[in-house]
Structure 1
């Protein structure tokens, strides 16, 4: 094979191995000599580098300067891996080692794997500028470019040693950032030694350099501005002005020693913009001046910055005093007005100032970038760290771990944030190492992305795999940032007074009493039971309770709210999702507080089904479920217990309880109107009756040992028929059956009676779930008549005996459950009775008016105030419903819109047909809604049904609060009710009774 063919073959092999310029790589390998060209270990190391071409180029240049490096690499595989790893990643460090070929020897042997102590690094950098490390205030013998260059050479030598351990995995991410921070502190100390040589008068002052940002938190990047604040005190006997002037010149010289351009380049910028007043303020201040500024003028972001403050160079004793002095201000800063909102606004401003075209490549400032994670962690620290000293950590990852241990962030969320943070920081390091330049923007070129992907161990498709992982981490970081950073609970915790946030016993009784707790001692016992101990559950409760106590106080009954919360918390025990839901979904916690502090009815439902707390976290979960979905779920439950009717209906009632809670929550805190609540309750009763009917029918059929000899249907009446049920409504129904062909009348009737009785029994059995009482008293002949009639029996009765009140009752009749075809036949049968052709006559009108007057005189309970009885009182429900029904009986034959079972729909149709004046319709509808809301509120608040607004002042106030009135709005509520019903009664007198 000739030389040209051999070169082409080698180039092809190198191209397949990953070299971009294979021909050039072949020439460079040949240039390293025959031993190197045949060294498979070297070739393997080069191929494994992030950028094989870059690694080979830098190695070739280094070998020209020091040929001994090749033999050393063959003898020490560890040296080979470390050196090639760095050279394949960092062109800048490759340039450095070529300029200073002796530095590669730091990567040999065991020393290359050891992390040097910070004191040794500090000593080495001081010695590089000729200063004595043992001197308390080291001074370089001279200043100038030469000594600054020496500092840069020594610094980069140390950087090379660290990068080699980083690239090969010998140093963890946290070790790398801590070592970079220590190296930066040592460089600042050496720069200060250079400054002392240039500014002899600097001896007139003590100067402390306070590291801020990542340097202060020991989480520095490879290349970053090093944020500092300077604190000085004049020496004893030195005028303060003179001392500060000297300290200022010393600080300026120190900054120059780091940032000045030399033949060896610059280290990095020293940025003092985080000082009081920023760049407009003095570079150096005394301790007293700093503290005065922070107490009076500091903005929220300045306390956020001080969270990471740490003395890093100069007078460390003075620096320690400074950090201790500002520390308490930092951890009390969240009590400032609008603190949380200010931090959130700052994050939005940072995001808004990203350069055009960079947002989708910014791993620091962009959405899902490092700032998203850092801001979320810092905000949570500052808000909760006011009372929890364990959160007072400077660095992001330790702080995140503390937040997770304390229960402020879920374990999974903390794990995902930590993984995203470490991934993004590693990418940041890889980008910066390439040219030792400060950058946070991902490269656009494929070669740059490939280098990063390969450095992260992605070899099959480095660009695609890296892009996918980056976007996944960024998306998760953004999601969790928005979840945690904009958590409303933060504002609530931040606004708490310090003593309440700590939940200390001191003055707690008075505090709770002032909040409105009637039994503050009992409240303290509940608080202690919930928060004592060192469990994660107790820690989360300590976070939640200060805020929830305020929410309970805003509810009608704070004591009941706190008691209910303890009872639910005890029932759910260590269920992991429960407290996590309340902590992470503030709307759920607030809804729960409002619910427990308002409604004994809802509290009772929740205590028997505590898992239902989960629905409080979602608006969608509070919406009434479609009737078809409910029917399907209940039917499936009955099928699962097909052979045990009691068990089947127990399961049905348990599901009904859950839905009752959903409706109650929607009505109390979800904004559902009385119309929506009435329809949801009525449809829930329909499907409950159907499921119980299925169970009862199956049981009777089994007992009879054969299919039933009759079809059976349930007709809804009254409020159930009008889709106007309240929480305490019975289910008014009529039972209809029709014997199947060939069945005997008596056998069919007996079977139908058995089904009806079993249905009623199953739904009324004692159980922890609310019963559904079936009331069949609106049937023909009332309680004196048969419980069940056949369709033909109903037809015969209505032909012969039907009275006006029965026609009126049938206005609300509709099919509810059972045989739908039979239900349709029944509805057809009664159509002429409830919507009589030509309308009812005047005799019937007089009879209905007489019945209404008699009801007002006889049925109002003894002692009830007729002005405050929501059902039978003046202007109450009956005063609205009877006029609507009278209009229906007189005109429905001619006005299709009146053929409805719903009161408000009938009123609207009457107004649209000109049978009722629009203002009258509005007055009647307002009174009906008001009375219905009051009845619902009575049931929700007291836990038992009632028709009268209670005389008890406390109960009345709680009902008013449940209806949305302010704490002192009880009298306004009663007056509003009286006004609405007084106007309705006037309309009823005129429309129903025909009074002028």
Structure 2
């Protein structure tokens, strides 16, 4: 953080430096070092006193160059290891630890006050010093206690047990300040007894004694001072709880009794001493307590309550000048960051980090907060932390209170680089004001606008919801609010209130529901069709009633509730999606992101980044992440279509890009899992190969025309040696390997999890259909297409393209496709075969009432028109395009460049094979049919409309059909 240049030492402050220099042989120091010494002494009595008390330590630091340079990783620990090597007893241990701490505390304060390092380095050095002291003191004490009482052994595992020391708060986050307490929690893996002595101890008793010795080694004040003030009150049950607990007891406590503030504290928990591997297992065990898998807006309530308690304490103790706890203080920045972590961290693993500055960067990078707001929070936080260090450096005391004494104020202003106290206070008030403003945007109750004495939104509806009005009065209120059928609306509310889901709710959840429903009614009354809103939103409310954190989400975010109502009113498909998968409510929080889905490269990068944060062996979480990604982006596309920010063609583009991004990751996952089990397949030359495998898309995905809820027509092709065995210990031949790879892909795509399936997959377009091999070799695919495939299969090949996979195999596939489609054909026979296939489809799939649009009544109002299957509809256009590609691509190979109908039609026009006006007519008709089909899908209606619609388009399609000689 940029700060004003440090000022020259005012004459009134020189005495601190002069006192420290008395008798100190520093004549050979450079002028720059002498000035740094003066600034450090002015800013810190600790430095001046240590310089007088132990001048050799200061001179050694200077001689070693440690006052000017940063420490290498591990350097602090290595030094302490050497110092403790000769400790013969606990008294020697305590002395060595304190002298080590005093030496480096002086160095750290010197560098901080002179701005030879930034805030991160100061906090890191302090935290590394604490880590070294805690862990090395523990490892010194452990064998001493084992010699006396035996080695603690696990009853279940039979293995020696070590304690795990968790660092909480600022220590856990590597953010210790210059005079910070350290908050610790002690645990051990499993119960049992010590072995190797006559009088054994229970493991808990052993580790309790060890913990007590460790605390004394760190916390006790001796002639050499202390190492770190140690606070154990964050452990289960606080001061009244056992000093150390087994992992099972810790898990049980947090699962059954863990409170919101303990979740908040556990975000920063880190293993700082003892058994590192067991500590990682403990933190993984406790992760579900900290991070919920759903959006947890109840965290806002908890943080708000904690802040209110802090504010009460601040007022009671007159602590407004406290830069940590007062308004706009350090704690408010921490609360902002941790609110987002607790709400979203269960699903967004990038938020599962400890360091506050890192979390702030993620909030900006992931779009949770505007970058400008994050920059203000970061700069304000750094200013406050520097000021905190200036306050604490003076006397090595843990304080965040601004001084009353004028002399101390002058010293703090000087240490901060300001000309006087007034200038410092002006800057301080600016930053506290900005932090408090941002805090209120995130944490403050949306119902509590400053100076606003109005009732809570929706309070007028509370008596109705609580059934205090009676049926007639309730219906009257609903009617006056604009409900067209108040009796039906009242019945829906009554049924919800008395339904089994609501009756089974716990007290807290019921309170949240009672607070939410009046808000819902108030906002519904403002919608154009409140009856429809209520009809579609109440099933969602019932669905999430027992997971009431979702109700808190909507209560905390009126904008999200507004968007929910608008989208549900516009589309029952969206309403059903959100009711089935309430995690989609997250997408409603950010209006800009909701209506601006990313482009293909951003989609692929975002998904890859999400999956990279998940352990490779956590298949369940990988599958959930894929499904949530698909649901979330599918909703964003549908919402953008509804509000008109995405035209039809772009909707299909986005849905196709989404499928391709998912398929790329599914192939990568399937390949990794299959090769881990069987090894990689070998090529004919004996070398192991990367995926010589492609996924080919047919139909809508091949033609870049996916709609909402479309399935995927896929064909799997490999170009490996089917006979060569894989290189793993459990070797199988290449043909088996690629078959199992294909099976794995289908499993990943179609398995039903709590978030549904990714896609329905249709493999019937592979060679020989359902009776053919699941995965074909490229050679077999070519032979089948050239010698056995029906004309309708070549029609399907017109819309086939490689979606993901090996570029070399993809290029070879394109050559096969071009060769098959580009060969000369008998046009009379081709027209006959295409017409016969189309007739079969109409007979089997078209509207029976109008003989698939061919009967005399096909255009009469009131008759159905199947947009896809009836004569003059979508499939007729697709068949004409496919016929044209098969008929003329041997003369015009550019017709095979694209797989979507619109661009193939462009090619037909450019080649002069269709009149320009007919090309335009077919393109516009195709887009019109598909636009209506999309709207029908979003309304959960079948793909049929009244025959009176789209008559002009249908007549023109049929005219061109006949002119091409098709029947």
- What is the TM-score of this pair, normalised by structure 2? 0.46
Indicate the structure (1 or 2) with the bigger Cα radius of gyration. 1
Q: Which has the higher contact order (CA 8 A, sep 6+)?
A: 2
Structure with greater helix percent? 1
Task: Name the TM-score, length of structure 1 as normaliser.
Answer: 0.45
